[in-house]
Structure 1
Amino acid sequence: MLGRHVARLAARTQLTRYGSVDRTWVMSSTREAHTLLLVHDTKQIHAGIGISEPLLRPDVTVEACVGRREANGPYIVGEALVQAVTQGEAVEIIYPITDGDVSNWDALEALWYYVLHDKLGVRVGNNAYYIMLALPSPVSRDVYEQGAKILFEKFNSPAITISEVPLLSAYALGVLTALVVDVGAEDSSAVAVSDCAVVPSGVVISKIGIVHCTWWLAYLLTQDARVMQALEQVAPGQTHAAAWSLAQQMADDHVVCVDTDITQTDDEDEGVLDVAAALVEGRERDVVKERERQKEAEAKSAASNTSGAVVVSFRGVEVPVGSVHKRFHEPLFRPAVLERVSLDIPTPRAVAQALQARRIGGEPMCLSIPDAVARATANVHPMERRLPLWENLILTGPMALTRGLIAELTRALSAYTTTESSEASQVVGDPQPWKPHHVRALRIPDYFANYKERMDLAPYLGATIFAKLVFGDLSGRNYITKRQYNEGGPSVAFALGSL
């Protein structure tokens, strides 16, 4: 199976520099140089030209969105969009891929043209690049066909292959089965990959993402008197709007992290000593130890609030931000906190949709990331295929750069595990014989030196490995050429995706 070859290649690709290998694993230098990678996650596009050793990071990373000043006006992309937003113009921001599907093909085509033509310098009239296109799951038949149509007819590619981002993330980490979590701009996904294939029933989309975390952070900033005092200097009478801009800047610059002390649950208080009972029983020493423990806990909390503070340069003013930047992630685990937000500025569309989904339901739902993971695994059948998913957890997307988030997600998912022995769990009549015993988060192997601590780039790394194998196969079984497209039409792309 192709997926198994890709997994082997992931482990062997770094060895090709040190000796000869089977020609099956090596494509010609010409094809390597003329491979173009176009990899989407739910917030960004990573793109690059050429495959080399060691495997390199993408040449270009852009936001996977476009803008429009008028309903039927031209699309604004890249630096022009950033400039328009910075200058406060009334621009509608459009993410072409939302809720796990392509909702605006015209916008997506404009985005691809910007990446290929403007950023990578591809001449559409004389395009010689084999294109590896990776899209978020689920990729429907219509998406396969329309994607192929645009790449062949509008961008004149000689050959293409299309795959799904979660599958490529698994390839990057050298596994055939995994549970891939991608936190995007306006939504997130939990996708089950089993034996080199995305499980259609194991794809769960949730209306919770980075914009919701940013909205929550803006609210927390308005609750800090020192922050509001500083913002009053740069935006008199418009401090809430300034707080929203500051929160966006902090999110973009990754001035956020997860504080494990703050995120601890109330379970720690279950063992609090009953002082009166201890005195009656003559356990004075336990009382003294308990008081010392409480003092240490209070000191630790105070130190966290002080040492956790950061100073952010915002519009020429140094803004002192307390420990609230460590709570940026909270909506991902508790979407209900969004109902507490009250700001004197318009609510972002994605946030309003999430709140509506929580009130009246609908698809996709507004689920916490742990709940989305649990639903994705529960939808995988037969049950024995579920346990390996919990042991191969992959967090990707821009939020993977948030320090402490992977550990916090693993801790939160431990609520779905059992401490019973594996033998006991197999007893006839056990209502949950396939409940996991532990959760393990994977990371990119160290031999991919350029990708160390860059889980956000796992899909691109996997796409590089996949393209190296697919386009290096002279039989052409796993990609389609323009000649095949001209003869068979867009439907040949879906046949490829079914392999």
Structure 2
Amino acid sequence: MHFSLKEENYVVIENGSFKIKAIKGVSDTNRFPSVPGYVWFRTLFSARLIPTKVGRKIEDQENQNSEAQIEVISSPDISEPNSPNSSTLPKRNSKEPKYICGAQLEEAKEKFADNFQITYPIKRGVIQNWEELEALWRHILLKELNIKRARNECPVLVSVPNSWKRDDYERITQLFFETFNAPGLYIANQALMTMYGFGSLTGLVVDIGYGKTEITPVIDCSVQYHAAQVIPIAGQDFDEYFLSLLLSDSKFMEEYGDTPDLEFARAIKETDICEIPEDPYQIDNEKLERMEVDYLEKKVYEPLFNPQLINRHGILSLPEAISLAISLCETDRRNILWESITVTGGSSLVKGFKERLETELRLYLSASENYGDFQVKEVKFLKLPEYFTNLRERPDLGGFLGSSITAKLSFPDPKGFINKVDYNEHGPSVIHTKGY
């Protein structure tokens, strides 16, 4: 096996329900874009921020279903001739549907209108459709990152959430070696990558994504899966809740003069005008004093602290889930978890979030002044290391930063990842020999 060990060939793919971050080349992990949005991510960070959705013409799908099914596994120029791996994945059709991804998606949607269907391969952190996810990865690798499949010299680190199981790991392994012809693969846990990005080996990761919020304890580089908690409330729920607040506010509707949609609510939510008050009662007081839309902007993230606001009964609030996750860990390590909380994800950037969370979490700390060895004294949040001067104010990029650092350290070591020799010998089950 031979491939270039130059860092400009290392690929990192961080999978999310709303966006997928991807980069080729990790030589400078401190580079940071200066203008927000898709364009800067593409041009200055040498990275791609791709919506986690695919589209195709409906007639293509109907034609495919009506044609004879010719079963193949992968093209002969990619698979090894005597590969032991051919029975792991379901066989695929030789005529694959034509998916449209990335920047061309909205253009195609407008062009084909009602004859075009958009679907989401990942919902609330769970894979919904492998064929669509494969098409999205293919688009990222071959088009966005311009990798030549026949002569692929780019090892890939794929970071995944806690909810992806070992069967998913096996499928990822087969796809990247057989379909994308990758010379090497590293499958990384996103919470662990976040801890690495924040320069710590132990802590509690609170990741507020688009489809779900994950609370994951990490102790000495070991993910405590048994203690991890998932709250099915996140970015998409904040969007929907904010829209419902706008629609129910007669004064706003009168002044706006039109019916706002979900995109409108999301656009406002993602501006700097939204914030979380440290005192939740402040919202109701402001509502009594004035009926303006800015009081609504302070209620957007309240479902995370009170799930019943969106009729989610029987679901833990964020402070409750954090307390439970820590309580399920070893007694002598709980203190350091309370003092090493890492908050990441797009929604974590909202103004006032840490202050509010700290206020809520204090209720779970001991009020006694006679602290025992294992009693928690205070809540502390980790920050990105100061030497990442361009990134230290962007905790939402902590996981991507940790993944890039891990790629830099792992790929030069032949034993630090799954290589083609390993795969050809063991097949997708190689993940078990590598400790996954």
User: Which whole-Å deviations, capped at 9, do the CAs of 1:144-170 have from their partners, x for residues lacking one?
Assistant: 211111111111111111110100100
Structure 2 SS opposite 1:377: helix
Does the CA contact (< 8 Å) of 2:125 and 2:211 recur in 1? no
Amino acid aligned to 2:174 = K
More deviation, 139-148/447-456: 139-148
Identify the match of residue 37 of structure 1 among 2, 6, 12: 12
Partner residue in 2 for 1:384: 332
User: Which whole-Å deviations, capped at 9, do the CAs of 1:398-434 have from their partners, x for residues lacking one?
Assistant: 11221221222222222211132354x46xxxxxxx4
Partner residue in 1 for 2:276: 258
Does the CA contact (< 8 Å) of 1:378 and 1:386 recur in 2? yes
Partner residue in 1 for 2:208: 183
Cα separation, partners in 2 of 1:54 and 1:97, compared to 1, 3 Å: closer
Shift, 1:251, TM fit: 3.1
Amino acid aligned to 2:300 = F
Identify the match of residue 216 of structure 1 among 241, 244, 248: 241
Partner residue in 1 for 2:38: none
How is 1:242-321 mapped onto 2 (pairs within 5 angstroms)? 242-253=260-271, 255-260=273-278, 262=280, 264=282, 301=286, 321=293
Q: Distance in 2 between matches of 1:253 and 1:470?
A: 38
Q: Distance in 1 between matches of 2:422 and 2:342?
A: 36
Name which one, 1 or 2, has greater alpha-carbon Rg: 1
Q: How many residues of Structure 1 are paired with residues of Structure 2 in the alignment?
A: 384
- The answer to whether residue 79 in structure 2 is matched with residue 79 in structure 1 is no
- The answer to whether residue 353 in structure 2 is matched with residue 405 in structure 1 is yes
Partner residue in 1 for 2:24: 49
Does the CA contact (< 8 Å) of 2:29 and 2:401 recur in 1? no
Partner residue in 2 for 1:415: 363
- The answer to whether residue 91 in structure 2 is matched with residue 142 in structure 1 is no
Q: Distance in 2 between matches of 1:259 and 1:327?
A: 9
Q: Distance in 2 between matches of 1:30 and 1:244?
A: 45
Cα separation, partners in 2 of 1:495 and 1:265, compared to 1, 3 Å: farther
Q: Distance in 1 between matches of 2:104 and 2:187?
A: 29
Does the CA contact (< 8 Å) of 1:144 and 1:494 recur in 2? no
Does the CA contact (< 8 Å) of 1:129 and 1:158 recur in 2? yes
Q: Distance in 2 between matches of 1:65 and 1:422?
A: 54
Partner residue in 1 for 2:89: none
Does the CA contact (< 8 Å) of 2:17 and 2:52 recur in 1? yes
Q: Structure 2: 5+ residue runs without aligned partners?
A: 33-44, 63-96
Identify the match of residue 60 of structure 1 among 34, 42, 48: 48
Amino acid aligned to 2:254 = Q
- The answer to whether residue 127 in structure 2 is matched with residue 102 in structure 1 is yes
User: Which whole-Å deviations, capped at 9, do the CAs of 1:95-114 have from their partners, x for residues lacking one?
Assistant: 43345443322222122122
Does the CA contact (< 8 Å) of 1:43 and 1:398 recur in 2? no
Give the TM-score normalised by the residue count of structure 1: 0.70
Q: Distance in 1 between matches of 2:8 and 2:263?
A: 41
Q: Distance in 2 between matches of 1:422 and 1:108?
A: 54
Cα separation, partners in 2 of 1:481 and 1:29, compared to 1, 3 Å: closer
Partner residue in 2 for 1:463: 403
Identify the match of residue 330 of structure 1 among 290, 293, 302: 302
Cα separation, partners in 2 of 1:82 and 1:443, compared to 1, 3 Å: farther
Q: Distance in 2 between matches of 1:120 and 1:304?
A: 53
Shift, 1:454, TM fit: 0.7
Identify the match of residue 148 of structure 2 among 120, 123, 126: 123
Q: Distance in 2 between matches of 1:263 and 1:100?
A: 33
Identify the match of residue 174 of structure 1 among 199, 202, 205: 199
Structure 1 SS opposite 2:158: strand
- The answer to whether residue 393 in structure 2 is matched with residue 489 in structure 1 is no
Does the CA contact (< 8 Å) of 2:4 and 2:153 recur in 1? no
User: Which whole-Å deviations, capped at 9, do the CAs of 1:109-135 have from their partners, x for residues lacking one?
Assistant: 122122222222122222111111111
Structure 1 SS opposite 2:384: coil
User: Which whole-Å deviations, capped at 9, do the CAs of 1:302-347 have from their partners, x for residues lacking one?
Assistant: 99969xx7xxxxxxxxxxx4331122111111111113xxxxxxxx
Q: Distance in 1 between matches of 2:209 and 2:120?
A: 11
Does the CA contact (< 8 Å) of 1:416 and 1:435 recur in 2? no
Q: Identify, as 1 or 2, the structure richer in helix.
A: 1
How is 1:236-247 mapped onto 2 (pairs within 5 angstroms)? 239=259, 242-247=260-265
Cα separation, partners in 2 of 1:178 and 1:128, compared to 1, 3 Å: same
Structure 1 SS opposite 2:206: strand
Cα separation, partners in 2 of 1:249 and 1:201, compared to 1, 3 Å: same
Shift, 1:195, TM fit: 0.9
Cα separation, partners in 2 of 1:223 and 1:158, compared to 1, 3 Å: same
Partner residue in 2 for 1:206: 231
Does the CA contact (< 8 Å) of 1:45 and 1:62 recur in 2? yes
Identify the match of residue 156 of structure 1 among 181, 194, 200: 181
Amino acid aligned to 1:197 = S
Shift, 1:80, TM fit: 3.5
Shift, 1:486, TM fit: 1.2
Structure 1 SS opposite 2:396: helix
Structure 2 SS opposite 1:182: strand
Shift, 1:483, TM fit: 2.1
Q: Distance in 1 between matches of 2:16 and 2:127?
A: 12
Shift, 1:455, TM fit: 0.7
Q: Distance in 2 between matches of 1:390 and 1:495?
A: 34
